[in-house]
Amino acid sequence: MSRSPFRFAEGTAVLTGAAGGMGEHVARLLAERGSDLVLVDRDGPKLDAVAAGVRDRHPGLSVTTETVDLADPDAVDALGARIVAGHPELRLLVNNAGVALAGDFARLTLDEFDWVMDVNFRAPVRLTHALLPALTARPGAHVVNVSSLFGLITPPNQSAYCASKFALRGFSEVLRAELAQLGATVTTVHPGGIRTGIAAAARVGVNIPDDEAAAGKKDFQKLLTFPADKAAGLIVDAIERRRPRLLIGASAVIPDIVSRIAPANGFTLFSKLLGASGKARRGTPEGAR
């Protein structure tokens, strides 16, 4: 297993969810450290703007954009093939993109549930599988999977989001053990209340009343206090140090401790952090990206 610091300037970094929030800041920080970039997002105009800013500041780097809907498995497979063909010197994959969905399980449709699983879990799995041969062609590569606070605790009305983030957490831990034999490392990231737009942009189940959805988003907005640029800095530092796990913010650190000591009380603590035990029932997840 590689123990030396990750060397950013030795190859290309692939970053999903790069058009805004934490992803945009991670892209800039990776460029500052000398990584060539493949930036992926479904929002083409915003992605192009991020890439243009990076190119202006770092004209010597290669910065490629890929506008892809990660909910489409065929599009993800095609993306992986293009990246491997065009960027043989892959050194880093950051699976950062994610979507949110609020609503109790009984009122969600299976299509809504699958949409979250496709973007948050299946896309990272498919992309990692496609890029793994190139990443492990020589020792020293690194993979980052951005899970969530909700990959640690399980609030009601977050069945799809929690399922996707717990699944990504488990996948990451197995992958870490397997890639250690190939000289590569893995970091799992659990952001808490990061100040981004994911909560405002969260999809709400079609069977959830508008007033209930609006109240939930307002409640959860109170938790989004940790600056996205600071969170990105912690992620890039964790990459350099090859940290196996990163918890960002007290809203992730404290529930993690409690969930390990008293697993049944994880959501009780989360409710206290929110300020009222019943409000989270209508909620949306933290602004992880």
Just list the catalytic residues.
161
**Nearest Cα residue to 61 out of 86, 36, 84:** 36
3-state secondary structure of 249: coil
CB 199, CB 289: distance < 8 Å? no
CB 202, CB 115: distance < 8 Å? no
DSSP code of residue 88: -
The structure tokens listed for 165 are 């983030």
Cα–Cα distance measured from residue 171 to residue 184, given in angstroms and rounded to the nearest whole number: 15
Which amino acid is it at 263? Answer: P
Q: 275: alpha, beta or left, given left = phi > 0 and alpha = psi -120 to 50?
A: left
Cα Rg of the chain (Å, integer): 18
Cα end-to-end span (Å), the chain: 29
